[in-house]
Amino acid sequence: MSTRSPAQAGPFSLPATTHSYLARAAESLRDAVVAPDVPTRYACAHVAALRAAAGLLAARARPTSASPRRRRPQKNAWVLLAEVAPELTEWATFFSAGAAKRAAAEAGSTRAVTEREADDLVRDADRFLAVVEQALGLVPHAASPQLCVLAQPFAQPFAQPFAQPSRHTRAG
């Protein structure tokens, strides 16, 4: 596969399939956020990342001419992503490693992934989608509010944050 330079990519020069894959990635991410069970959450998040990768591949990858006698082995999206966008190799390796867990989760295994793994993958897929959007010259999507973790206020045992005025003071 040959690649187009990233400078050539921009929101107006991207193929419609790229925009479609990115929209579907965002939809899968939303599905993951609202999924009622852990395996579905994990599988939807992984599919979101896969669709984001497909969007980048649709924008950058171009088939190369091969000898008609010699057939090249097929490569999965993560291998192609590492070739087409070397800057995303770590992401490709990370998501490739989770493919077996996604397959188990899609098959209905409730032991394939933990709740923590599913939640982490949702956040990672969200970050990856934003990285892909930026790599394509697009404005990254807004993160879902459900992905944001609010810090808990520190407990102050001696402070009275909502102290009421004493009844014994005189108003004056």
| pTM reported for the whole predicted model | 0.75
Query: Would residue 170 count as lying in a domain?
Result: no
CATH number at residue 43: 1.20.120.330
pLDDT at 7 (0 to 100): 44
pLDDT at 74 (0 to 100): 80
User: What are the tens digits of pLDDT across the range 115-127?
Assistant: 999 999 999 999 9
Structural domain count, the chain: 1
pLDDT at 73 (0 to 100): 78
Query: Would residue 157 count as lying in a domain?
Result: no
Query: Would residue 128 count as lying in a domain?
Result: yes
pLDDT at 92 (0 to 100): 97
Residues in the chain: 172
**Helix 38-60 to helix 99-106 angle, to the nearest 10 degrees?**
130
pLDDT at 69 (0 to 100): 66
Give which of 45, 104, 54 is closest to 78, Cα–Cα: 54
Segments of the chain scoring below 50 in pLDDT: 1-7, 9, 149-172
User: What are the tens digits of pLDDT across the range 3-13?
Assistant: 444 445 455 68
Give the domain range for residue 100. Answer: 2-66+74-144
SS3 61: strand
